[in-house]
Amino acid sequence: MKRVKMIVMLILSGAAVLVFTVFSVSAIVYSPEYMMRIMLYRESDINDYLVFNEKPIKQSEDTYFYNKTDNRSLGTELISYPINGVTVQKELGDFLEENETTAFIVIAEDEVVYEKYFNGHERDSINTSFSAAKSIVSLLIGIAIDEGFIKSKNDSISIYIEEFQGTEFSAITIDDLLTMRSPIKYKEGMAWMGDDAKTYYMPDLRSLALLQTEVDSTRGESFHYNNYHPLLLGIILERSTGMSVTEFMEEKLWSKLGTEFDASWSLDSKKSSFKKMESGINARAIDFAKIGSLVLHNGSWNGQEIISKEWLSQSISKEEPRSEDYIGSFLEGKDTQYGYMWYSVSKDEEVVDVYALGKYGQLIYISPRYNTVIVRHGSGTGEVEWWPNVLRQVIEELNE
């Protein structure tokens, strides 16, 4: 028995030494702060806006308030959805509550017809965008092009990032970054050694994107979701405009939408002060809805043109998705295409739906055909495999 205990103690001691060694080496290779974040915070969640430092984005001086026509019956409409191969039916309100929704707003013909908050959240609760931020980054790039800060979407990124001049990166265009089709290497998974974790928790994302990225010259032009792309677009925005991304967003976008609340953008760290371009816009659901209204109205909202109709038209793909483009990605089999960081569904060359999508089902969903915007936020996706399908069903029920 003593021998068994000794063997167990040796194994446990060896494991502890191994873990300590791996952690120590990783702290040297990456950074101590990065490894501490990995250990402390682990998987991301909707309260991460409390974890990171942030830069504020001031609300509009001229607030826009939607008219309200409360459609109480919408909450009792039956939603049908397959769960584990079985189609279930639930009233919308119960369905939302049970599937980890925190906010759900439906705006039809520019009037709020349904607005409800769930699972402890209220109207003034802060929601973090996760990757829906990428769609807003696309808007900012469009504004920068509209106003002449950036000459063209077809420009080499090396025009604005001099560190890439004379390298393989000089063949990459802004268009390549927006459409997620550059040859920049990106590895999912692999715990803290993978790029998902690095682009989320590294304390100097600017340096990560500039100094620790590589080009895979064997890659084709197929879709590959890559968080280095929005980081590089953030650097391009900084250098082309001479402003921080939050200053540019506040002046050119947020202040013009009629937003009711201040927003913020999470930072990689206080020292670096670079915005988490891939994920970190924090705001209230009702103000995210105004992003949707801006897109619905072809770039004009709250009495002024904010972004050109031409840019939005370019941003949203109108081609039927080529299935081979998305093989192996999360879009495989979804009948969805990816434009300039906006998702869309097209039928007969007509855009049916457009949406910004973030982790755990953060959605700004726009239906031009039905003149409707839906915002759905959540702490998770619940048992729903693909939330855009649910929102499409809600819109169809509303317009029957």
Residue 132 CB partners (closer than 8 Å, separation 6+): 281, 288, 356, 357, 358, 362, 363, 364
pTM: 0.92
* Res 83 pLDDT > 80: no
What's the CA gap between 185 and 138, in Å, rounded?
21
Residue 7 or 18, more confident: 7
What's the CA gap between 195 and 201, in Å, rounded?
10
* Res 365 pLDDT > 60: yes
CATH: 3.40.190.10, 3.30.1360.200, 1.10.3720.10, 3.40.710.10. Which one for 48-398?
Answer: 3.40.710.10
Tell the residue number behind the tokens 């953030």, with chain if given. Answer: 234
Average pLDDT of span 304-330: 84
Residue 178's φ and ψ, nearest 5 degrees, are -65, -35
The helix, strand and coil proportions of the chain, stated in percent and rounded to the nearest 5, come to 40, 20, 40
* Res 307 pLDDT > 60: yes
* Res 160 pLDDT > 80: yes
* Res 20 pLDDT > 60: no
What confidence tier does 349 reach under pLDDT thresholds 50, 70, 90?
A: low
Helices 2-29 and 32-41 pack at an angle, to 10 degrees, of 130
